[in-house]
Structure 1
Amino acid sequence: MKPMPAISADPLRDDCASEPIHIPGSIQPHGLLLTLSEPALVVLQASTNVNTELGLGAAPLSGQALGSLIGAHALAQVRLALADLDADEDELHQVTLNGNLFDALLHRHQGLLFLELERAVSPRHAAALHVARTLRRLQSAKSLDGLYQTCVTEIRALTGYDRVTLYRFEQEGHGKVIGESLSDGMQPYLGLCFPASDIPPQARELYRLNWIRVIPDAAYQPVPILPALRPDNGRPLDLSFAVLRSVSPVHCLYLKNMGVRSSMSISLLKDDQLWGLITCGHREPLRVPHELRTACSSIGQLLSMQITLLQEQEARRQQQEKTVMIDALADAMAGDTLDVMESLLPHAQTLLDLTGAHGLAILVEERLHCFGACPTEAEIRALYPWVQQQGKGVVSSHQLAVDFPAAAAYQAIASGLLAIRLPKPVNNAVMWFRPELKSTVNWSGQPIKHQDAGAGTSSPRLSFELWKQQVDGKALQWSASVLQAVESLRRHALELDLARQVQREHAAVRARDELVAVVSHDLRSPLTILLMQCGMMRKLVPADDTKANLRMATAIETMQNATSRMNTLLEDLIDISRIEAGRYQVALQSLEVNATLDQLGLMWHPLAAAKGINLTWRAQPGLRVQADPERLFQVFSNLLGNALKFTDLGGAIEVIAQAADDHVLFRVCDNGAGIGAAQLPYIFERYWTSREGNPTGSGLGLYISHGIIQAHGGTLWAESVAGQGSVFSFRLAAAP
């Protein structure tokens, strides 16, 4: 057994991959090709054998009318074929040229009409009966393996080729023979792999575009097309859809090395991508009639649909099994109070069955639980940061030592990794492990090209004998259904984890509310008593100006102010609790705006006058607003209190009320210190006390005012320029 060479580094493979096989400039010699302009059907280019077949000598054909070359009767048949082409019909039309019968094939590409005249060949048997039988057998296949074998057996019986193989492209790009039918003496390829370099990308694209491709004799001499470039644009002629298109000389040598003289391939597509090929080979030249080729094309299309159908049926069956397991795991997570990951511990076997893994590790914070064949605890903990770094909810690898080199130390038991984790700050993951498949891949010959030393050109590999490659460090790949299943499991875990977080937060809010209620209830009574006692003590202090009496009066006043502040803070805490719990309630009623502002003025005018600040009110007459009078008074108290605090002696404060559509707009304007642009976005947050000169502020007033206005269904915002003043505005619904 030998290690596989680095094919991707082979310059000969690169040469083959860059070969422009769609513009060979020639055709195979079993037919004629002409390109025509429409609607006049004037010849633009023609294969050189047209002159020979029609007995025209060596005269150039470009620019001549098609009818003048093939005659009126043949031209009429071509026009019938053209009518079918326009009607999207696939009928066979034949023309006779110089006593020889030709099949007329038409297609359009890049603004040209292509006419291919392929020498007719009689079928060995009536294709219709065989095709009907083949289609019935394909449709009745119950498994993919049965479908593959039925296909190759029926196509060999239909066409007479010595070998028919069904070749599937694997994820890595190479192909594998999964079905085969042989005549005696042919080398079997069933189960062998063919390297990706055997069919370069541009060849795969042509297979994708054309259902069928035929080479009746790989030892042919190409027939040139003249003129070499298109007369209308000077470019090479694109023969991507031409049946007669000449093939790469490298491919012809490839067929020779394989021991076949003629070949046919039928494309198999899935989701419009090349899924595989049915390849046919014969030891002698073989012409397959157009009628049989059309039938084979239909078989390829039906087989493509049947493969997709059976694969989807199998995928649905597997998905149903996995859905049952996921539902059971989701119920286990939902019915437990533990961390959702830890809730899975009793269901380790179900988790292993879900993915077909051999080992399982569940990490919850610092706790690691392992089941089955796993790396050591230290190795798993060293692997986890790499899983985190991938930044994905689901991480998968079937060659972990390549993706995470440290895993080479334990690749025998963990060459495959599948992991899910939740977006939480703590360590958490479910990790599945698959062992290394220390296996042998059987190749049809060593996958390497050779170079012709004399010509300096590349040639296909020479040998198709069995060549074995030892594969190390790889596990069975995680299927799409497994990846979908663990993604679904992760989604359930994420939803349940978020639900538990919400429940915990709601419980914390309830506990806080209860604590606030108890504290406020238990503190209000002693605070009220303190305020009353302070009032009584002030009355008992003599009114004379002795030093002792003044000191006593000052101490009592300090106690009274501190107690009042504590009482205010208690009220603020209760308001915050209600706002954050979404239970802040307001008792709305219709208020006359002017009367409300007059009532506020009775309290705030004396306070403003005492500080030497001019406080004015201005409101449109007749305004009414829907508001809770007590809460509205609280908002104004906070806004006016701040304005007075940060407006200097001689400053001005103005309160304005005006109609704004179906709302009333209130503004409290001052020409005080203002708020810096860096601080303005944060002023309605809790505990905002960053303004200089506000050492005694609690930072709760604006936050509570914002919550009160929101509870009214209104909005509160601020505009300010440092050193010039501030404007606090809010909208409330107008009352009828």
Structure 2
Amino acid sequence: MLANKTSKIADPFKIHRVFPIRIQGSKDPEEIIIPDPSPGSDDDTDSHERPSPPPFLVRHHSQDNVYSDDPPSVATSEHIGTTSPSAGSSRFVSNTFNLATSEESRSPGTVKDQKVYRCEDEPIHIPGAIQGFGALIAIREDEQGRFVVRVVSENSQAITGLQPEALFELRCFTDLLIKSDKKEFKSRVRSMREREQGSRTNPDVFSLSLTSLMGAPLSCYIAMHWSAPSNLVICEFELMKDMFNPRHPPDDGFPKIPVGVVETEATDEERKLSTTTKSKPLHAVQVARETERQIGSMELFHVLCEIQNQLAAQTNLQDLLDVVVGLVYELTSFHRVMVYQFDETKAGAVVSEIVDDRASMDIYRGLKFPASDIPKQARDLYLINKIRVLYDRDQPTARLICRSREDAATPLDLTHSYLRAMSPIHIKYLENMGVRATMSISLTVNDKLWGLISTHTYGTGMRVSLPVRELCRALGDLASTNIEKLLYATRIKARKPLSSQPPKNSPSAYIAASSGDLLNMFGADFGFLAIKGEARTIGKLFSYNEAIVLLQYIRQRAFKTIYSTNCITKDCPDIQQKFHVISGMLVIPLALSGSDFLIFFRKGQTQEVQWAGNPYEKKRRVGNYLEPRASFRRWSERVVGRSREWTEDQVESAAVLSTLYGRFIEVWRQKEAIVQKNRMTRLLIRNAGHEVRTPLNSIINYLEVALEEVLDERARQHLQRSLQASKSLVFQVNDLLNLTEAEESEFDVHEDNVDLKVMLTEVIISFKDASARPDLEIRLEDDQKVPTIVRCDPSMLRQVISNLLANAIEHSSGKLVSVGLEYISTSDSNTLVEMYFQDGGKGMSEQELDSLFQDFEQVLDDEENQATGLYEGDPKLPPISLGLGLAMTARFVRLNCGQIFIASEISKGTKVSVKIPFRKARPRPDSARDVETPGENSLPTPPLLTPDSAPGAVPAIPGTTAPGIFERSQSLDTILPIRQYTPSHARENSQFTPGPGSLASTAHAVSMTTGPTFDPNTGRYPFPTVSANYQRVNVLVAEDNPLNSRLLETRLTRRGHDVRVTVDGHSCAEVFKATPDAFDVILMDLQMPLVDGNASTRLIRAHELSHLSIHKVPLPTSPNCSSYGRVPIIAVSASLSEQSCAEYVESGFDGWILKPIDFTRLEMIIAAVMDEEIRKELLYGRTLWGLGGWFRVRAGDAAVC
């Protein structure tokens, strides 16, 4: 049933659609009737519009056993017992087969001296006779090496010149051979018996001469094969010059009247197609016929080369088959040559043909013959013996005479015989078709009988000599090889979409993109991909209701193997729905449970099948047996409710697709689960961070406001500690957010001039103050060659120094930690400097170092590998997590194209070195209001930490057992190369600081607070104050958070500005529209309910354009905005991203500033409203993104981002 339940109220509409399509498994799978998945045969009356079978083909309940029509009720009889060829002879004659007559037994069995067989049961491989144009002699080698004749055909005298009895009396069969042939004969016989069984199925064909008492030796062709069960060498002889059985009929060998049994006039186009040969003439054959001489071995070689060249030149199957029939037609001179291809039901269709219209007016091309015309045992023999010939259907056969009762006890197996007598049923069948002689050549593909090259002659008989038959057998093998090659080429072309590696995106996206290729590969009209309970269409959807029913049915059935049907109504009877459009489907499971799958649908087709006679009707004789089909009149069958058959190649391609994409989806699903989990974790951290950071920023700003007041010393100290603790918490929140965002975006490097030595000194001092180990000495080893000022991200560099120093202190078991700077080299733009941190701790083993660097490499992998956990380290090593500090350090080093070096030795310590190619410092401008020095706006110095609060949360390197590291050692020196990386300005200016609760985090906060302290002369801390040069302005604020809005109002009002606060974007836009000239600048928060900052800005800009369009003059603005051209709108948010700069400009923003707001910077941005020079100084590209600035100098100018 469908996932979406319908209401009990009748819906007046008939057409329904659901998107997305969701499917579910059956809750009661045991209630589903599972039919046999194999498709039915073509005789299903439910899906065919055809006349019902004659009543006599229906099984009756009576004493008489009347045969049904499947299989055909055609029978033969075999005489039982032995008779001698002549009176008084002690030889035994084989039994032969004849058609059963009305006077004979009514059912298969033995009655009197006859045994009756049905057609499908006839043992055609032991007919007991051969065709009369050749003779058979079966010999067995005795212990003395003599070849004793055991079985002889009764016509031996006509071929060999000796009666059967004379042959039995020979001491050795080789006595008949001339001297030169005896040695060759013996060699061939022994070679054949020594040959591995199954290595060759066709007889060994050669020529020899038989001596004759009547005259000159007789030249014969011999086809010899070994019968292993009876240990007999079977020799079949044919005369080279046979006056009674000529190889080619005379010119008047055509029937007096062209044969016609189809009784349907072919069109001119059909007749032209079947009477025109597409093969090229064979040069050697033409010469041999014109000169009336035998084709020699060299000519045969040339003929084979010509045949192979013509076959190999064909590029499609139909052209190849047309060339094949033309070549056989030229080689054999038969009146008709056809290629007869079997389908999946073993019915055959004539797919190529050439006919001489002087012999027959019938056109068989396109006609179909039922599988019963060639029963199974005949098809099996065609697969073994690839040449089958009948010289003349009216020629009497020659029975086999056995030497003794022992030889007659087991009928001679003639499976590999060329002269084997035809079944009397087949003889009658050919008589009904008007055919006098025939030859069949097997076509095999993948060791299966693919089809036959069938030849017919009308009028007189047609004998094909042994050499030509061997040539035709070779032609059949070449044709089979080329058919197989073309089928494989088509298969490879069809499977080309499978050769490309599945991409990393979702299966639905990929399969949707390649839907055309998939539909072409399977010849389908459309399909579905069902994954995780949802289905996505492949191709253009049609017959929606039928498709949904089938989709749900397939999900309930949960197919675990490939399933195909071309008649859903017949093969899935448990579906109650009636199907009028969709008839065929191919199900490809993509999961072992059957829950994920691909399904392809085919529309039903009304097929007109042209049969050579009605395949469902046979003529009944007077008795109880049915004759072979006598009518081959063209009979049309209209098949409805079925689609085209799914070919074997398409089913094999489906199996490949199931394996390939089943595994792809399995891996993708595992990856998607991990990615989704990580995505949700990052989203949770971001949301939590935003919710925490917003009130913290307000707390910090209000504390700063309170500290500007006149307070007593005790109250000031309490506020100072609160401020410092609040900022420390902000640092730790930023740590988590930065690390989380780094997994999906690149770090933004806020580059600035940095005094490297001063920063290193500040961090060391802060660690000394925060450490609970007063005896610990941190020694700074300076190199005078190191430049004083370098360029990098000061925040990230400070964090790296803090991380590595905290790690060295934590793992140091001694009293000394060495920190140093060392100059390495310089270039035009960079200076390579090494910073090292060395301790005297326990050190790390080589295995621990390997594990550590594997974790570094894992950190540096791209996001997808991190998300799916596809990092392949040494499986013997335990998994190690680097921790926040070292992970951030590794990323900083990579972003700056540096390297990390670690040298360690057990019991001696570890030295960690970071080599960074710092960029050379740029000259500072005279006006440096946009650049803060390391000491500017720092936090007040906190009180010293107690031993209980400081060191307990210092994180060690996870996975290591050595707490002490960082001493140089010559025994171990490992280097981690960092990939070159070009940083992008991608994120807000947030602090990169150590993890929560760590010593590095606390020390980082301390180091950031070194600077101005309490001045007892003024009784105040030097918090920023507004410059007297800044003019007071009217500010419109849009801020939904009450704390932030009151803070903005308080801070700006203190500086003399007039502030109007609105609580959302819509209110802000309405206030501005009411009095557009009352405000000098708008501070717009981005994240607000109802109407956010972007939408509000667009409303304001749209109002300005509307006023200009209607009144032909710009919207009036305040005098302070005149130099800019319109009221500037400044974007205010903690989530501003430099990557979205163009989007902000497009929305109508003129500048930006990030939260928490630096009010000194905000004053500069506000002052720039009236000062064009300040706007130029704060223009995007000239200032860092994290500080804030302007997008353009004037309102009409193009934005710089």
Identify the TM-score tier after normalising by the shorter chain.
0.5 to 0.7
Equivalence map 1:291-310=2 (5 Å): 291-310=467-486
- 2:209 is aligned with 1:209: no
Secondary structure of the structure 2 residue equivalent to 1:460: coil
Match of residue 472 from structure 1: 640
Q: Distance in 2 between matches of 1:228 and 1:3?
A: 55
Match of residue 355 from structure 1: 522
What letter is aligned with 1:197? Answer: S
- 2:201 is aligned with 1:83: no
Match of residue 335 from structure 1: 505
- 2:390 is aligned with 1:218: no
Match of residue 308 from structure 2: 135
Secondary structure of the structure 2 residue equivalent to 1:418: strand
Residues 382-414 of structure 1, C-alpha deviations (whole Å, 9 max, x = no match):
652445425315433222222212668554422
Contact 1:398 1:476 in 2 (8 A): yes
- 2:150 is aligned with 1:49: no
Contact 1:230 1:236 in 2 (8 A): no
Match of residue 436 from structure 1: 604
Q: Distance in 1 between matches of 2:630 and 2:439?
A: 21
Q: CA deviation at 1:86?
A: 4.5
What letter is aligned with 2:641? Answer: G
Deviates more, 1:116-125 or 1:148-157: 116-125
Q: CA deviation at 1:140?
A: 2.1
Match of residue 36 from structure 1: 139
Contact 1:84 1:90 in 2 (8 A): no
Higher helix proportion: 1
Match of residue 491 from structure 1: 663
Q: Distance in 1 between matches of 2:183 and 2:620?
A: 48
Deviates more, 1:301-310 or 1:375-384: 375-384
- 2:485 is aligned with 1:276: no
What letter is aligned with 2:227? Answer: H
Contact 1:374 1:414 in 2 (8 A): no
Match of residue 119 from structure 1: 239
Match of residue 23 from structure 1: 126
Match of residue 406 from structure 2: 231
> Cα gap change, 1:290/1:431 in structure 2, threshold over 3 Å: closer, same or farther?
closer
Contact 1:408 1:473 in 2 (8 A): no
Match of residue 148 from structure 1: 321
Match of residue 107 from structure 1: 225
Residues 241-272 of structure 1, C-alpha deviations (whole Å, 9 max, x = no match):
11111110111111111111111111111222
Match of residue 441 from structure 2: 266
Secondary structure of the structure 1 residue equivalent to 2:185: helix
Q: CA deviation at 1:198?
A: 1.0
Q: Distance in 1 between matches of 2:140 and 2:640?
A: 59
Q: Distance in 2 between matches of 1:102 and 1:23?
A: 25
Match of residue 289 from structure 1: 465
Q: Distance in 2 between matches of 1:108 and 1:472?
A: 52
Match of residue 416 from structure 1: 584
Contact 2:152 2:401 in 1 (8 A): yes
- 2:672 is aligned with 1:500: yes
Q: Distance in 2 between matches of 1:506 and 1:63?
A: 96
Q: Distance in 2 between matches of 1:455 and 1:94?
A: 51
What letter is aligned with 1:115? Answer: C
> Cα gap change, 1:42/1:132 in structure 2, threshold over 3 Å: closer, same or farther?
same
What letter is aligned with 1:80? Answer: E
Match of residue 70 from structure 2: 8
TM-score between both structures, scaled by the size of structure 1 = 0.61
Contact 1:394 1:486 in 2 (8 A): no
Q: Distance in 2 between matches of 1:184 and 1:426?
A: 57
Q: Distance in 1 between matches of 2:489 and 2:422?
A: 38
Secondary structure of the structure 1 residue equivalent to 2:641: coil
Contact 1:81 1:91 in 2 (8 A): no
Secondary structure of the structure 1 residue equivalent to 2:409: coil
Secondary structure of the structure 2 residue equivalent to 1:307: helix
Contact 2:606 2:642 in 1 (8 A): yes
What letter is aligned with 2:399? Answer: P
Contact 1:27 1:47 in 2 (8 A): yes
Q: Distance in 2 between matches of 1:154 and 1:4?
A: 42
> Cα gap change, 1:420/1:45 in structure 2, threshold over 3 Å: closer, same or farther?
closer
What letter is aligned with 1:335? Answer: N
Equivalence map 1:64-83=2 (5 Å): 64-67=170-173, 71-74=175-178, 77=181, 80-83=184-187
Secondary structure of the structure 2 residue equivalent to 1:469: strand
Deviates more, 1:272-281 or 1:384-393: 384-393
Residues 692-723 of structure 1, C-alpha deviations (whole Å, 9 max, x = no match):
xxxxxxxxxxxxxxxxxxx99xxxxxxxxxxx
Match of residue 384 from structure 1: 552
Q: Distance in 2 between matches of 1:433 and 1:238?
A: 49
Q: Distance in 2 between matches of 1:58 and 1:307?
A: 45
Contact 1:444 1:466 in 2 (8 A): yes
Deviates more, 1:479-488 or 1:185-194: 479-488
Secondary structure of the structure 1 residue equivalent to 2:418: coil
> Cα gap change, 1:387/1:218 in structure 2, threshold over 3 Å: closer, same or farther?
farther
Contact 1:45 1:230 in 2 (8 A): no
Contact 1:174 1:193 in 2 (8 A): yes
Equivalence map 1:447-596=2 (5 Å): 447-448=615-616, 450=618, 453-454=621-622, 456-479=624-647, 480-481=649-650, 482-484=653-655, 486-487=657-658, 488-501=660-673, 503=675
Q: Distance in 2 between matches of 1:276 and 1:461?
A: 21
> Cα gap change, 1:74/1:449 in structure 2, threshold over 3 Å: closer, same or farther?
farther
Q: Distance in 1 between matches of 2:643 and 2:671?
A: 37
Q: Distance in 2 between matches of 1:82 and 1:472?
A: 63
Q: Distance in 2 between matches of 1:162 and 1:497?
A: 64
What letter is aligned with 2:662? Answer: R
Aligned residues with identical type, % of pairs: 26
Secondary structure of the structure 2 residue equivalent to 1:372: coil
Q: Distance in 2 between matches of 1:139 and 1:382?
A: 45
> Cα gap change, 1:393/1:106 in structure 2, threshold over 3 Å: closer, same or farther?
closer
Secondary structure of the structure 1 residue equivalent to 2:146: coil
Match of residue 165 from structure 1: 338
Residues 70-119 of structure 1, C-alpha deviations (whole Å, 9 max, x = no match):
85445863652342454567433343545554322221112111121123
Q: CA deviation at 1:168?
A: 1.3
Which has the higher Rg, Structure 1 or Structure 2? 2
Secondary structure of the structure 1 residue equivalent to 2:452: strand
Deviates more, 1:296-305 or 1:465-474: 465-474
User: Unpaired runs of 5+ in structure 2?
Assistant: 1-48, 54-67, 76-116, 193-203, 248-287, 686-959, 962-1201
Q: CA deviation at 1:223?
A: 1.3
Q: Distance in 2 between matches of 1:139 and 1:230?
A: 53
Q: Distance in 1 between matches of 2:205 and 2:148?
A: 24
Query: Aligned residue pairs: how many?
Result: 505
> Cα gap change, 1:104/1:151 in structure 2, threshold over 3 Å: closer, same or farther?
same
Secondary structure of the structure 1 residue equivalent to 2:642: coil
> Cα gap change, 1:408/1:30 in structure 2, threshold over 3 Å: closer, same or farther?
farther
Residues 442-490 of structure 1, C-alpha deviations (whole Å, 9 max, x = no match):
1112225746634644432112221112222221233424424642333
> Cα gap change, 1:87/1:347 in structure 2, threshold over 3 Å: closer, same or farther?
closer
Q: Distance in 2 between matches of 1:425 and 1:319?
A: 25
